[in-house]
Chains A and B, each alone.
Chain A
Amino acid sequence: MTAAAPPPPLLEARGLCKTFGGGLSGPAVRAVDDVTLIVRRGETVALVGESGSGKSTFGRLLNGLIVPDAGEVRFDDGAARGRTQAARRALSRKVQMVFQDPMASLNPRHRIAETLSRPLFLHGLADSRAQARDRAAELLEEVGIAQDALDRFPHEFSGGQRQRIGIARALSVGPECLICDEPVSALDVSVQAQIVGLLETLKSRHGLAQLFIAHDLALVRKIADRVAVMYRGRIVEEGPAAALFAAPAHPYTRALLDAVPRIGCPARPLPIGTTAQGAETGCNFAPRCPRATGICCTQRPRLEGLTQPTHLAACHHPLSDPVAAPDGAEGQERVRRIAAFGAALAQKKLH
């Protein structure tokens, strides 16, 4: 830990709630239930959770794509508060989104130049078509796409290229924070690392803060400064990535980590059940939790600091023992070969 004070919050969600359904469409689902999260300038915060945990809804609430039932989003200490159209537009200029499936998020009938120019006109960042086109060309270069792409359509590109274009569009309005919602999970494995590398480069070049929504914990460990784990609409654990991965405090986080397949490690059977319904009162995870006691079913645990004040968990019975450090001995030769492959690539400049 350095003595320097942490940078001020850039994007701040306070007590966000969002409920879907109710009425004729079936029982109401509390997709996001009183979530507070801060993203600081230049920081990558990963939001992890399984499908249905509410992580994507939270991302959409953050940049104003949907309006919360309760709570507020503050940008740069109040610069973009409120629920008016103008406030939402100001927020969307500073907080941009990168979506999972670029085929679904790029308009198939617009040429790339059009797709990249629209946000510029919308936010008054370009005066003429020529100016917008020049800016679009710059953006494509930044994300590693050839200039002739400007006059082509999304279907003419591979998945990885489309995702680069989606990132270029997000960058077009000069955001300070990117919300990346599963940006690589629809891509081929060999292309995922390219996109992750691009996001890392952009982060350091522009000092971009990132909220990285993902279910791939191995990837999150590689790129995140801080991690928040979501379960059924609530954050159950949050902390610096190193601390959280070394000693997960919430039984759900531990179960999640244990379930991730690792090369060379035999799968560990899970102690948790599969009960679908959440609890009415108390901890949402209690019905599946091996450590649950009476209090877990009656009293909702608060997200509180543990031994480190920056490492929070919402659990009545947090775990304190660190997970066994990976021995990794038999992975050494693999790592050596991967490193040699990477070095050879760098030498050949195939990138």
Chain B
Amino acid sequence: MRTLVKPSSKLAKNTSVAVSVDGLSIDVPGPTGFRRVVDAISFEIPKGRVLGLVGESGSGKSLTGMALNGLLPMSGARISGGRVHLSGRDVTAYRDRDWRPLRGQVVSMVFQDPLMSLNPVHRVGRQIAEALRVHKGLGRTAAWDGAVAMLDAVGVPEAAARARFFPHQLSGGMRQRVGIAMALACGPDLLIADEPTTALDVTIQAQILELIDRMRRETGAAVLFISHDLSVVSQVADEVAVIYAGRIVESGPTATVFAAPEHPYTIGLLGSMPDLSLPDAPLVAIPGAVPHADAMPDGCRFAPRCPYATKECRVGRPLMRNLGGGHAAACLYVPVSPS
């Protein structure tokens, strides 16, 4: 098991790593100038593996995903520190024209609502075919056939007929399958899935999660799975990174982190959501709210909401502590002593 959090200068040249993020910081413009919303986060994802990035709204998880696809300028945000390597190349300073050949081929994205990412006036088959023509240089017919084959691969029934549908003619689950087909059409090394099942019903969600898992096995793509839902992440992710107020507070193999969470925020988050398998587990509410980007607390950013916080927690950023087996947490008081 590869450790998630480590300096990646050597690993960047390792091409089995689809993405490596080292100390990435992101600033967004606010009324009083730029403010840091992602603060020196590091992780890497080997090909064929799924990293679940879990956080609440405002944690910076979506901006992180956008940074890996060169989409930050769209929101006025900018990378203010750290390095991003995609399949070995340093893309930190890439401009939009540098990103273009990469999108689709090296990295691609699946969004929460495919209605937003699909063009409503074009047939879905044409939209997939367009990617194949631009990136793979396929002819019109070959690209269309490729699009139909891709739709078939993601489990769209009667793919040849459905390829002629417009996005609004498809159900939410089918649209998300189309979104995934489009993202995977050119065989990217990294798929960024930002809350891909949040807008879907639970029965459809299970099907899409299964599809993502199958596609990464078949294509060998790495997946950054961004979600606020721990139980969803537990279904698909090999490793998980929990992000709070712009910082990764805990990371490690999914089974380890969920079986024995170490950071108080992870514990609180798990306690905030009921689990169907554990009906007797207590439901605990973390007091307060996620801090605003303008008013980040000093020291550990979770300290104001943490029942274990001490004076020491209010000073300085707690470093990630290695807990063995690839598990790490950024808390002064880990590991939790078994009592």
A residues at B contact (CB < 8 Å): 50-51, 158, 160-161, 188-194, 196-197, 215-219, 221-222, 245, 255-270, 272, 274, 276, 326, 328, 330-331, 333-335, 337-342, 344-345, 347-348, 350-351
Contacts and interface: CB of A to CB of B under 8 A. Distances in A.
Contacts of B271: 193, 338, 341-342
B201 A221 contact: no
A345 B201 contact: no
A259 B206 contact: yes
A328 B289 CA distance: 30
Contact of A337 (B204, B267, B275): B267
B267 A196 contact: no
Query: Size band of the B side of the interface?
Result: 35 or more
Nearest to A268: B206
B259 interface: yes
7 contacts: A51-B201, A190-B285, A193-B271, A193-B286, A221-B274, A221-B279, A263-B270
A49 B258 CA distance: 28
A231 to B, nearest CB: 11
Contacts of A196: 283, 285
A255 B203 CA distance: 7
A189 to B, nearest CB: 5
A334 B280 CA distance: 12
Q: Which of A160, A218, A245, A258 neighbours the largest number of chain B CB atoms within 10 Å of its CB?
A: A218
Given A188-B57, A259-B203, A342 B284 contact: yes
Nearest to A327: B277
A49 B174 CA distance: 20
Nearest to A269: B210
B242 to A, nearest CB: 11
B141 interface: no
A328 B56 CA distance: 26
Given A193-B284, A264-B255, A345-B287, A328 B267 contact: no
Given A51-B201, A191-B285, A340-B339, 13 more contacts: A188-B57, A196-B283, A218-B276, A222-B274, A259-B206, A262-B234, A263-B234, A264-B259, A267-B235, A338-B282, A345-B287, A350-B288, A351-B285
Interface stretch (B4-12, B91-99, B186-194, B223-231): B223-231
Nearest to B236: A267
Contact of B276 (A197, A221, A344): A221
B173 interface: yes
Contact of A339 (B261, B282, B287): B282
A265 B207 CA distance: 15
Contacts of B284: 193, 338, 341-342, 345
A335 B281 contact: yes
